[in-house]
Amino acid sequence: MHSDGADVTGPEAGILQQIVLTEDVRAYVLTRKQNFRVCTSCGGPILLPVSVKPPKPSDLRVKVGDHTVYVSLYQARYHDVIHAGMIPRFRDYY
C-alpha cells in the first residue's frame, strides 16, 4: 500500500488525516488520467470520476500523480484506506 497522508489537504487541515491508497487504486487513477471522488452510494463507498460525481468544497484531496482523488468528508470519517473494492464493477470502469 502507498501512504499518501502527507498529501491530504482539505477543510480539516488542522487535524491529522491519513488516507492510504492501495497500489491498484493508484494504478487505476493513473491509467484513466482523470480525477475521482470517493462518495456514498446505497452499496457503500464508491470511487467515481468527478464527471459523474463532482467534488464538494468539504472533500479531502489526495494527489495521485497529476490527478486528485477527492474523499467525501463523511466517508473519510469511516475509511482510511481507499481500495479496489470501492471501484464499481460495471461498464468499463475496472
Query: What is the reported pLDDT for 9?
Result: 53
Q: What is the pLDDT of residue 92?
A: 55
Mean local confidence (pLDDT), 85-92: 78
Over residues 64-88, the pLDDT tens digits come to: 999 999 998 888 888 889 999 999 8
pLDDT tens-digit series, residues 5-36: 434 555 554 444 688 999 999 999 999 999 99
Is CATH 2.60.40 correct for 2-86?
no
List the chain domain ranges. Answer: 2-86
Q: What does the chain look like in DSSP terms, one character per residue?
A: -EE-GGG-BSTTTTS----EE-HHHHHHHHHHTS-EEEEEETTEEEEEETTTS---TT-EEEEETTEEEEE-HHHHTT-SEE-GGGS--STT--
